[in-house]
Amino acid sequence: MLKILAIDVGGTNVKVLTNEQHEPRKVASGPKMTAAQMVAAVQVLTADWSYDVVSIGYPGPVLHGKPVAEPKNLGAGWVGFDFAKAFGKPVRIVNDAAMQALGSYTGGRLCESRVFGGAR
């Protein structure tokens, strides 16, 4: 089975979980966190996890799998950042609200998400 690392990038925390883990982990983010700092923090958080690919929920507009505007609640350096190179794995990026909705879709209907603990 493909091991997926899901990353929810938020203005207060960055939360991570794989499809093999039961408890998410998080690290504080904030208005100065850059993309490179997020990757470094996630690599520390997940040092004892293995995963094959990365899925990132990004707090801003995403077009063709890439951020097209810097997030308002984080530092600069997200647009144009090479996440696949930084993680050394294939990466897919979607808007964080779209990721939350996708994670909430169960049994043919949209349900309260339990992926990252429900409400933000």
Q: How does pLDDT run across 45-69, given as a tens digit for each residue?
A: 999 999 999 999 999 999 999 999 9
Taking the CA atoms of 27, 62, 91 and 55 in sequence, report the sign of the dihedral they define. positive
Does residue 117 carry a pLDDT above 70?
no
CB 70 within 8 A of CB 78: yes
- Residue 9 included in any domain: yes
Asked if the structure places residue 85 within a domain, the reply is yes
Quickly count: other Cβ atoms within 10 Å of residue 1's Cβ.
Answer: 6
Which domain does 103 fall in, by range? Answer: 4-110
Q: Are strands 13-18 and 4-9 parallel, antiparallel or unpaired?
A: antiparallel
Query: Is 16 a domain residue?
Result: yes
Whether residue 115 lies inside any domain: the answer is: no
pTM attached to this predicted model: 0.85
Burial class (CB in 10 A: 0-12, 13-18, 19+), 33: buried
CB 67 within 8 A of CB 61: yes
CATH number of domain containing 17: 3.30.420.40
Q: Does residue 91 lie within any of the structural domains?
A: yes
Answer yes or no: is 118 within a domain: no
